[in-house]
């Protein structure tokens, strides 16, 4: 299986702190890859580095056979809806249409094809009826659907999503989940971060992080009790030897470590 992303001996720092210590990893083409790990384990940092938004301190990341920065025109990155300010007066339709800026430059007028991409993305995310609504008038789930629509309206070979399903209502979560599973059929590779072990198990490929890449590969090979115990540092996990163990919610993890 060809890889769209290959990381070799990658070290990433944020300020004076090492966010990811020397790690190797791969991301296969046309598959869904889940990056899972505790809070502060470097999931978003890794996603940022793959997107070329954060340089590696040492080692190399190759994206689509080029450097991450050179590959940016073929990467679409959906940020967490909570990290995007809502103060800019934008309607839903305008926000999604911004995804076509890369091909338009400073003055180019959107073509019929550009409009088709935008319309299709809005239909797939079921936000057509919200087109004229202002971003501030939407719920968190609706806003996340807008940002995913923006993500898929952009020309891309890789779709990165930072915790796309966290804290969403059921309708939004289901809609976005179906998009995640449709994208590989369209030839796109999907990489998402998650806290949810079940979501990671449903992926084709998993990267487990804990300040470094603890393991990567097929879910059944990576999400073992031993690896999860290593990553989460939970002594109580030793009591559950079943591979079907379900991790407690992230904010409850501290309780189990005592």
Partner 1 sequence: MEWFLDPFALGFQQRALAGGILAGLMTAVVGTWLVLRGMSFFGDAFVHGIVPGVAAAVVFDINPLLGAAAAALVMVLAIELVNRQTALGEDTSIGLLFVGMLALGVIIISRVDSYSGSLTTILFGDALGVTSQDLIIQAVLAVVVISAATLFYRPLLALSFNADKAQLWGLNPKRAHAALLVLIAAAVIGSFQSVGTLLVFGLLVGPPATAALVSRTVPRMMLTAAIISVFSVWIGLTLSYHLNTAGSATMAIVPIVLFFIVLAFTRLRTHRRERVLSHA
Strand 58-63, strand 75-78: pairing: unpaired
- Binds partner 1 by CB under 8 A, chosen from 6, 18, 22, 98: 98
Comparison of 95 and 180: residue with beta carbon closer to partner 1? 95
- Dist CA 8 CA 182 (whole Å): 29
Asked whether position 19 contacts partner 1 by CB under 8 A, the answer is no
| 188/223 with CB nearer partner 1 | 188
- Select 95 or 125, whichever has its Cβ closest to partner 1: 95
CB 158 within 8 Å of CB 189: yes
User: Smallest distance, Å, CB 88 to partner 1?
Assistant: 5
Record the tokens describing residue 161, joined without a space. 């999503």
- Calpha distance 176→26 (Å, rounded): 24
Tokens of 6: 């290959």
Tell me the two tokens of residue 256: 């189990």
Q: Is residue 109 within the footprint of partner 1 (CB under 8 A)?
A: no
Q: Which of 13, 29, 62, 91 binds partner 1 (CB under 8 A)?
A: 91
CB of 114 to partner 1, least distance (A): 13
The residue among 76 and 172 lying less far from partner 1, judged by its C-beta, is: 76
Q: Binding to partner 1 by residue 235, rule CB under 8 A? A: no
What the block records as the tokens of 82 is 């909570």
C-alpha triplet 55, 10, 28: angle, nearest 5°: 100
Q: Binding-site residue total for partner 1 (CB under 8 A)?
A: 29
Q: Does 77 bind partner 1 (CB under 8 A)?
A: yes
- Cross-strand bridge partners of residue 58: 11
Query: What is the C-alpha to C-alpha distance for residues 159 and 124, in angstroms, rounded to an integer?
Result: 15
Work out how close the CB of 77 gets to partner 1 at its nearest, in angstroms, rounded to a whole number. 6
- 2 vs 89, beta carbon nearer partner 1: 89
């Amino acid at each position: 299986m060809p890889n769209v992303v290959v990381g070799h001996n990658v070290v990433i720092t944020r300020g004076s702190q090492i966010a990811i210590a020397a790690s190797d990893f791969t991301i296969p083409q046309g598959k869904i890859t889940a990056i899972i790990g505790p809070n502060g384990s470097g999931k978003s940092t890794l996603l940022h580095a793959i997107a070329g938004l954060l340089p590696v301190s040492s080692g190399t990341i190759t994206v689509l056979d080029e450097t991450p920065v050179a590959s940016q025109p073929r990467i679409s990155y959906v940020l967490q809806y909570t990290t995007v300010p809502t103060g800019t007066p934008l309607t839903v339709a305008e926000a999604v249409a911004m995804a076509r800026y890369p091909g338009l430059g400073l003055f180019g007028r959107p073509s019929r094809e550009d409009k088709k991409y935008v319309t299709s993305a809005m239909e797939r995310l079921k936000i057509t009826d919200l087109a004229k609504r202002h971003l501030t008038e939407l719920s968190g789930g609706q806003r996340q659907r807008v940002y995913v629509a923006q993500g898929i309206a952009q020309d891309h070979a890789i779709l990165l999503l930072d915790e796309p399903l966290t804290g969403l209502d059921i309708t939004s979560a289901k809609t976005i989940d179906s998009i995640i599973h449709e994208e590989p059929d369209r030839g796109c590779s999907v990489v998402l971060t998650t806290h949810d072990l079940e979501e990671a198990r449903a992926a084709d490929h998993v990267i487990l992080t804990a300040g470094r890449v603890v393991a990567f590969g097929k879910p059944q090979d990576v999400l073992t009790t031993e690896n999860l115990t290593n990553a989460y540092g939970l002594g109580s996990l030793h009591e559950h030897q079943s591979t079907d163990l379900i991790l407690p919610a992230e904010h409850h993890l501290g309780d189990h470590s005592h």
